[in-house]
């Protein structure tokens, strides 16, 4: 394809993004820096939140990425039957929005799970056979509540990962219905908002995840998809930064060309495009190295390789210009790690602004 695609890198903690649509200098002017630390930023007291955002401002942050877990904001999430009166509370998110706006920061919201028990196929809070009718209602509520205030939405989290959407064999069809309904109603309620497809996990894992490119090919099997961008998580905790992950349907940072080529092909076939018919811009919305846990990397390792990871993302043909990384901010560690409880379980570990507050070498290295 002749058109360049935007490349965005957002780590779960502190990140940089590139929207490269013109010359390198132009791309540099559109560099974004983002953080994600849902717990502290959503739940903290105003004083602590203000302190965290003050620190974020020092890191040149312009975006905050935050997940809204469906079952965490709705009343009676554990009921097996839908409540007569469904109510939602976005108090923490409203406070975050207002505090962020004062500092000139925008919100990117991922409308995510788990789903309440009455919206799943097995009557449990979780990810099993999400009922599209109820998910669409949730999306409408979110879009109306944040209309004119939220610039960008992601739809669900890692739908190709069994802990987020199951069963795996049905996930592409379920996600197609969820996404296309979300697209329709968000665009109707808030036409200026941008919507990202995917938020996909990077590679296949037996019994846990399907390969992202295979997944999106299966999704478009059910119909054409319109999106303002494609969100992807190119992390690889187990290997080196330069490890060429096998399998043409997988896409880590080192094998990102697998994904960009697939998106180009899907656009040429008119199966997945922007509203103007262009290939989807690529947003890398989760990347980093573990600071603790089974796949933890030492501080010196992270300080050395996080800047290199940024440069690899910026050097991707769908972006432009090595100089765009300069002054881009800091990249923190990925906040998710696998647990030993059952395949696919995930747990959040404390990170985010707490990490940045320590002025760790890895944060300072990428900030330079």
DSSP secondary structure, 32-78, as one string: EEEE--HHHHHHS-HHHHHHHHHHHHHTT--EEEEEEEHHHHBS-TT
Q: What is the pLDDT of residues 113-157, one digit of tens each?
A: 999 999 999 999 999 999 999 999 999 999 999 999 999 999 999
Structure tokens, 233: 């998580």
| pLDDT at residue 321 in the model | 29
328 contact partners, CB below 8 Å, separation of at least 6: 16, 31, 33, 60, 310, 366, 367
| pLDDT at residue 360 in the model | 59
| pLDDT at residue 33 in the model | 66
DSSP secondary structure string for all residues of 170-197: GHHHHHHHHHHHHHHHHHHH-TT-EEEE
Q: Output DSSP code: residue 105.
A: P
Q: Which residues of the chain have pLDDT under 50?
A: 1-31, 319-359
How distant, in Å, are the alpha carbons of 27, 184, 254, 281 from that of 263?
21, 21, 17, 9
Q: What is the largest CA-CA distance in the chain?
A: 56
99 contact partners, CB below 8 Å, separation of at least 6: 46, 49, 50, 53
Q: What is the pLDDT of residues 5-35, one digit of tens each?
A: 444 444 433 333 333 333 333 334 444 667 7
Instruction: Sketch the domain layout of the chain as residue ranges.
Output: 7-367
- Domain 7-367, CATH among 3.40.50.2000, 3.30.70.141, 3.40.190.10, 3.20.20.80: 3.20.20.80
Q: How far, in Å, CA of 15 to CA of 13, rounded?
A: 7
């Amino acid at each position: 394809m002749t058109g360049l695609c935007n490349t965005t890198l957002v780590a779960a903690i502190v990140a940089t993004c590139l929207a490269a649509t013109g010359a390198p200098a132009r791309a540099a002017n559109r560099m974004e820096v983002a953080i994600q630390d849902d717990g502290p930023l959503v739940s903290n007291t105003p004083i602590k939140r203000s302190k965290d955002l003050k620190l974020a401002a020092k890191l040149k942050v312009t975006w905050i990425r935050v997940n809204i877990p469906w079952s965490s904001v709705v009343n009676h999430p554990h009921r097996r039957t839908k409540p007569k009166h469904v109510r939602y509370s976005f108090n923490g998110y409203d406070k975050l929005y207002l505090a962020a706006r004062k500092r000139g920061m925008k919100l990117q919201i991922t409308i995510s799970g788990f789903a309440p028990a009455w919206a799943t196929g097995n009557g449990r809070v979780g990810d099993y056979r999400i009922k599209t009718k109820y998910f669409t209602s949730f999306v409408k509520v979110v879009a109306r509540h944040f209309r004119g205030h939220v610039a960008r939405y992601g739809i669900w989290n890692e739908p190709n990962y069994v802990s987020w959407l199951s069963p795996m064999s049905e996930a592409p069809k379920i996600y197609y219905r969820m996404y296309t309904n979300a697209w329709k109603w968000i665009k109707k309620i808030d036409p200026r908002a941008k919507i990202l497809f995917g938020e996909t996990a990077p590679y296949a894992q037996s019994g846990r995840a399907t390969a992202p490119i295979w997944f999106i090919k299966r999704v478009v099997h059910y119909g054409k998809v319109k999106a303002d961008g494609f969100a992807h998580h190119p992390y690889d905790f187990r290997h080196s930064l330069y490890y060429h992950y096998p399998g043409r349907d997988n896409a880590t940072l080192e094998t990102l060309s697998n994904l960009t080529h697939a998106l180009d092909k899907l656009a040429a076939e008119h199966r997945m495009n922007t509203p103007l018919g262009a290939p989807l811009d690529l947003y890398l919305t989760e990347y980093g190295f573990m600071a603790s846990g089974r796949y933890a990397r030492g501080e010196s390792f992270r300080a050395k390789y996080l800047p290199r990871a940024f440069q690899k993302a910026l050097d991707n043909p769908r972006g432009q210009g090595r100089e765009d990384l300069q002054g881009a901010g800091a990249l923190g560690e990925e906040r998710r790690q696998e647990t030993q409880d059952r395949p696919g379980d995930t747990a959040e570990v404390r990170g985010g602004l707490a990490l940045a507050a320590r002025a760790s070498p890895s944060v300072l290295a990428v900030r330079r």
